[in-house]
Structures are given as C-alpha cells and as structure tokens.
C-alpha cells in the first residue's frame, strides 16, 4: 500500500490530504495526472467532512472535466455504474476497498423519519415496515411496536445490500458477527 499526495484546488482552504493505493496501481495513477482533493458536497449537506480524489483533465470554456481516482483505478468509464468504498473512506482507493455496482444496488442514505427508524411508518395503531429497492416498494409486514418493525427492515436490508446496508440497529449486526 502506498500514499499519493493530493493537492488543493484553488477554492479550497483545507490542508493537503493523501489517498491510499495498491502498490501495483501507484505508478499508473501517479503518471496519469496531478491529483487534487475535492470535498464531497453530498456528505457536507449531511454534516460530514468527506473528501475524494480527482484529476482535472480539461479546463476549456466553462466546462471542467474531472476523473475520479476510484473510477480510474478500476477502469470504469460507464456512467451507469457506481463505485462504492466499502469502508466509507473515499480516499482509500485500494482495489480491496472498491466495489462496482449499478445505481439501484446502493442503499439510499436517507434520514430517519418521525418514528426514529428507517423504513418504519405508523399504520393505524400498528407499525408498518417497508423498503424501497430498485424503485419498487417492498412491504415487510405490520407490527405491534416500532422496534420490531425496525428489526424487520434491518433483516431485509441486510439480505438485499449485505455489508452496505444502512441499519437501524448496527450494534446488533456487530454482536451477530462476534458469536
């Protein structure tokens, strides 16, 4: 594993950061272009400080073209395919940390609703659990309390998304794997 230095873009006032790469990718990435650190605007809206690595390819006219390091490492040019960082660190561009999938296979990072749980809503005097996957609603049943509905959501989310699932009770996933 090697580190590659990322330079600041003119508009950024943050310190220089480093991206992680596999040894066999380092020379190819280093020689391709100058790499910059770029702030993830979607994460900033959620109140998170996350960055990713980009190379500025063209700066003609009003349009700038950027190449993300994670897509360059995997050789992904198809815009319908998404690259996910399994550990959540977008500056970790080692192949073992990257996964390619279609947009529908990525769980959406929505805020918890008024019930306090993802995928849970009130239905009369019971609680209904549901999940949205690839544009289709998947109803998981009605429950007498919202915690049971939240656990049903978690079970289905784990089944569909695996380790990428965003859970209501992530500590229970950790306890299951420790046994």
What are 99-118's pLDDT values in tens digits?
887 766 665 555 567 888 98
Count of structural domains, the chain: 2
Q: Containing domain of residue 171, as a range? A: 107-178
Domain boundary among 103, 121, 155: 103
Same domain flag for 78 and 15? yes
Same domain flag for 62 and 124? no
Same domain flag for 13 and 90? yes
- Which residues does 127 contact at the CB level (< 8 Å), separation at least 6? 115, 120, 121, 142, 143, 144, 145, 146, 148, 149
> Measured between alpha carbons, how far is 115 from 157 in angstroms, rounded to an integer?
18
Same domain flag for 171 and 128? yes
Half-sphere exposure of 13 (CA within 13 A, CB side): 0
Summarize pLDDT for 113-143 with one digit per residue, the tens.
788 898 899 988 999 999 887 778 889 999 9
pLDDT above 50: residue 179: no
Domain boundary among 82, 103, 124: 103
Same domain flag for 37 and 69? yes
Provide the whole-model pTM.
0.60
């Amino acid at each position: 594993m090697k580190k590659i230095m990322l330079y600041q873009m003119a508009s950024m006032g943050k310190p220089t950061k480093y991206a992680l790469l596999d040894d066999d990718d380092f020379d190819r990435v280093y020689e391709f272009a100058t790499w910059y650190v770029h702030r993830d605007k979607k994460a900033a809206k959620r109140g998170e400080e996350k960055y990713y690595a980009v190379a500025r390819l063209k700066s003609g006219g009003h349009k700038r073209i950027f190449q993300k390091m994670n897509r360059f490492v995997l050789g992904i040019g198809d815009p319908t395919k998404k690259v996910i960082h399994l550990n959540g660190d977008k500056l970790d561009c080692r192949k073992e940390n990257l996964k390619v999938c279609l947009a529908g296979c990525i769980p959406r990072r929505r805020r918890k609703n008024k019930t306090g749980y993802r995928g849970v809503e009130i239905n009369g005097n019971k609680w209904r659990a549901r999940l949205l996957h690839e544009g289709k609603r998947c109803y998981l049943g009605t429950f007498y309390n919202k915690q049971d509905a939240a656990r049903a959501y978690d079970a289905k989310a784990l089944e569909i998304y695996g380790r990428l699932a965003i859970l209501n009770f992530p500590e229970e996933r950790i306890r299951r794997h420790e046994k």
